A and B are shown apart, each in its own frame.
Chain A
Amino acid sequence: MSSHATRYACLPEMEDLEIILAYRERRHSTCFRLLHDRYAARIFSKALTMLRDETQAQDATQEIFTKIFLNLGKFAGTAKFSTWVYSVTYNFCIDKIRKEKRSRELFADELENLPDRAAEEDHAGELANLQVSELRNVLAKLPDADRTLLLLKYKDGVKIKDIALMVSKNESAIKMQLKRAKEKAKRIYGEQYNSSTT
């Protein structure tokens, strides 16, 4: 590791861990800004997926960043910083949703007791080829649970097993709901744009 971290203020080309070490040592505002600007937009996008409201997502981004910086001393560097940041983000959002008692609404009944027959849903398929404005319209018309699931999987790239852990369900149930959500989205797209989606 270069000695930039300990001797100078942080530089944009530095790795996350170097910046963290420098920040811990000197509390330099440049280090804070670099880390903040590297992750804030991604945190906002993930929080928006979960909370579905821009103002709430902005508040969550603030809370999450404050939490991360106050606990920076606990970051041991064994996992990637980004992994730690995203896990703090999702845990924060899930806690917030649970406090507001929206969890049933969000990760709901369709997930209960499904047979283990869902196919692996690794590709967004035709949905990935839509225009962004079309995708936004389709997502807006989907039920909350389906929209969140599609965004978690295809926008944020969260693995199915991680989504399953997040909502305390099994992987097959998640795959099945994902499959149904995609079917609904395609149907909505077909109805709205009079296209021949199958």
Chain B
Amino acid sequence: MKKNSFLQLRDLEMAEFVKNRQDTVRTRVESRLRTSEFISNTLELFFPKMADTFTVMMGGEAIEGQHDYPTIDENELALKPDVRHLEGPENRGEIIR
């Protein structure tokens, strides 16, 4: 059965694209994606450092990341009995009515 001429036209356009343009387009898109990935990785890596530098230049303190993440059991500070807890609802005498 003969194919609709509009669909034949579409197939011809697509074949022409695959033959003459597809590789160029693919290469350019790949290159753009690589550039964009490089920029986003660079920002992700260096932006925190830049922000710290800027903060220090303005007279503040750099935010230092916590190097280890102790669990509650490992955290000596949390286990000390004399650690002052935040005042809560037990300190009723101090509540100003």
Contacts and interface: CB of A to CB of B under 8 A. Distances in A.
Interface of A: 27, 29, 32-33, 36-37, 40-42, 44-45, 48, 58, 61-62, 65-66, 69-70, 124, 127-132, 134-136, 150-151, 154-156
B30 interface: yes
Interface of B: 2, 4-10, 12-15, 17-18, 21-22, 24-26, 28-30, 32-33, 36-37
Given A69-B29, A129-B2, A40 B22 contact: yes
B4 A154 contact: yes
Contacts of A155: 6-7, 9-10
Q: Which 9 A-B pairs have the closest CB atoms?
A: A41-B14, A154-B6, A128-B4, A155-B6, A44-B17, A41-B17, A65-B29, A45-B13, A135-B5
- Between B10, B22, B36, the greatest number of chain A beta carbons within 10 A of the residue's beta carbon is seen for B10
B5 A66 contact: no
29 contacts: A33-B26, A36-B26, A36-B29, A40-B17, A41-B15, A41-B17, A41-B18, A44-B13, A44-B17, A45-B13, A45-B14, A58-B24, A61-B21, A62-B28, A65-B25, A127-B5, A128-B4, A128-B5, A130-B5, A132-B5, A132-B8, A134-B5, A135-B5, A135-B6, A136-B9, A155-B6, A155-B7, A155-B9, A156-B10
Contact of A62 (B12, B14, B25): B25
Chain A residues touching B, majority SS? helix
B26 A135 contact: no
Chain B residues touching A, majority SS? helix
A48 B6 contact: no
B53 to A, nearest CB: 29
B33 A124 contact: no
Contacts of A132: 5, 8-9, 12
B26 A40 contact: yes
A50 to B, nearest CB: 13
A124 B30 contact: no
A45 B8 CA distance: 12
A150 B4 CA distance: 13
Contacts of B25: 36, 40, 44, 58, 61-62, 65
A29 to B, nearest CB: 7
A180 to B, nearest CB: 18
Contacts of A156: 10
A65 B31 CA distance: 12
A151 B6 contact: yes
B9 A66 contact: no
